[in-house]
């Protein structure tokens, strides 16, 4: 077992936040009617992707009937449908859908994680829960540091969590801290010359995608820019595809 696998295993056993523990387990017990015959994961959801990722995507938290059900980030919900379709379109995923942990999906040079690893009530973790969970993100960033060259943060909540985590993991974050915006791009320096590009993107929530605040083209544009900053064309087995209109 490598260090990132060990981290994922430890994350999946965390019980640090009583409110989140109670909620995730209640959801897993009661279930949604459409998934009544399925066994829910009902635990913290670790990151997903290769240990030598050059690009990290940071979301918010697992969905109650998505990641909390399937055990994989952005898997089994509509937000994940949008994200993985875009990753496939720009050549960073082996398929455009993510339905279950055994569906054969591979990510090429990219890893997906979140600042809060448990499904929260109403999809709204508290700032305190975000801070309690932050050491996991810091450890993940430190383990990815040898290869990591770009980070895409989905939404303001994730942005607020990721900036201090990056600073704690060894990158120099400007003061005052950069403000979140869709299309934001910030260059960060790190000890040993480990430069990193940070990108902001609206979250792939249904609220944003259904209203057109975030379109597939907007998401592909950010992911494509981040892939370029991370030099993902150099990753072995990367299958680049042309993005549609």
Sheet-wide strand order for 185-190: 110-113, 55-58, 150-154, 196-201, 185-190, 171-172
Domain ranges of the chain: 3-234
At residue 177, the pLDDT reads: 94
CB count in 10 Å sphere of residue 37: 6
At residue 194, the pLDDT reads: 81
Among residues 17, 1, 114, which one has the least CA distance to residue 67?
114
Q: Which two tokens stand for residue 30?
A: 């009661």
At residue 190, the pLDDT reads: 82
Residue segments in the chain with a per-residue pLDDT below the cut of 70: 1, 191-193, 234-245
Q: Which two tokens stand for residue 184?
A: 């934001």
Pick 3-234's CATH classification: 3.30.479.10, 3.40.50.300, 3.40.190.90, 3.40.470.10: 3.40.470.10
At residue 234, the pLDDT reads: 59
At residue 48, the pLDDT reads: 98
DSSP structure class, residue 41: -
Distances in Å between the alpha carbon of 5 and those of 33, 49, 104, 115, 164? 33, 11, 18, 18, 24
Among residues 9, 82, 19, 1, which one has the least CA distance to residue 46?
9
Under 8 Å between Cβ of 17 and 130: no
């Amino acid at each position: 077992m490598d260090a990132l696998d060990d981290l994922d295993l430890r994350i999946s056993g965390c019980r640090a936040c009583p409110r989140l523990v109670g909620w995730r387990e209640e959801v897993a017990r009661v279930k949604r009617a459409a998934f009544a015959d399925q066994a829910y994961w009902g635990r913290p959801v670790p990151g997903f992707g290769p240990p030598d990722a050059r690009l990290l995507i940071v979301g918010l938290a697992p969905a109650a009937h998505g990641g909390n059900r399937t055990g994989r980030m952005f898997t089994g919900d509509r937000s994940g449908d949008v994200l993985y379709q875009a990753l496939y379109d720009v050549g960073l995923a082996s398929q455009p859908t993510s339905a279950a942990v055994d569906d054969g999906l591979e990510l090429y040079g990219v890893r997906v994680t979140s600042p809060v690893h448990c499904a929260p009530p109403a999809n709204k973790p508290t700032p305190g829960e975000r801070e309690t969970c932050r050491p996991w993100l810091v450890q993940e960033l430190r383990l990815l540091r040898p290869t990591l060259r770009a980070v895409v943060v989905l939404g303001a909540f994730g942005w607020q969590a990721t900036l201090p985590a990056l600073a704690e993991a060894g990158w120099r974050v400007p003061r005052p801290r950069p403000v979140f915006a869709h299309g934001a791009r910030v260059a960060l320096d790190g000890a040993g010359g480990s430069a990193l590009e940070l990108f902001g993107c609206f979250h792939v929530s249904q609220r944003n995608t259904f209203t057109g605040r975030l379109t597939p083209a907007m998401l592909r544009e950010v992911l494509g820019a981040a892939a370029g900053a991370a030099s993902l064309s150099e990753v072995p087995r990367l299958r680049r595809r042309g993005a549609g209109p």
